[in-house]
Chains A and B, each alone.
Chain A
Amino acid sequence: EVQLVESGGGLVQPGGSLRLSCAASGFTFSSYEMNWVRQAPGKGLEWVSYISSSGSTIYYADSVKGRFTISRDNAKNSLYLQMNSLRAEDTAVYYCARGDYGEDAFDIWGQGTMVTVSS
């Protein structure tokens, strides 16, 4: 079964850091681009970051640029999001999502992990 499972969310103080992980199974992870998407409580979906299959190309939303770092370990079938200098407005459920082109574009999503930034 094709599956993505996020972990690493939790409660963190403003200015703090957190590292999210996304474990992939059931498909050849190294062949797919990956994304992080977030959803603030009661709000819509917001794309956060993209990484190519090799890790050589990376994009960020302006709202997280300079604070968040996306990475992947194809040997471990894992995607990561290092989040630094966290703000209250980063509070959201964070989803990893597979693909970015054609039939594979954002086709599979994880269940999400909640990040709460609060003192």
Chain B
Amino acid sequence: DIQMTQSPSSLSASVGDRVTITCRASQGIRNDLGWYQQKPGKAPKRLIYAASSLQSGVPSRFSGSGSGTEFTLTISSLQPEDFATYYCLQHNSYPPTFGQGTKLEIK
């Protein structure tokens, strides 16, 4: 199975900050990676697909980059509604595997 190592596991930041979350795959996955935002009691919502493509309707302050084994999600200027938990997901091969999650909290 492909292991996805996500860091950091938690992050405190302020409104307006720029933040970056990283996922590292245990083997190459091309660009078969998505980023998801999950708020308490809600289903995950896809933000980024194919590592760097912005999901329709998602604000442009979210961006993704990377290919192969290293991937990043960047939020350019945090807004109050962005405080949530973020997950990466690789779907290059079965089983699909998620990162452990990053909980983004208000400082």
Contacts and interface: CB of A to CB of B under 8 A. Distances in A.
A107 B49 CA distance: 8
Nearest to B97: A47
B96 A44 contact: no
A109 B95 contact: no
A107 B53 contact: no
A36 to B, nearest CB: 11
A59 B96 CA distance: 10
A68 to B, nearest CB: 13
| Chain B residues touching A, majority SS | loop
A61 B95 contact: yes
B64 interface: no
13 contacts: A44-B99, A47-B95, A50-B96, A100-B91, A103-B49, A105-B32, A105-B34, A105-B49, A105-B89, A106-B89, A107-B46, A109-B43, A110-B43
A45 interface: yes
Interface of A: 35, 44-47, 50, 59, 61, 95, 100-103, 105-107, 109-112
A95 B98 CA distance: 14
A103 B53 contact: yes
Nearest to B91: A105
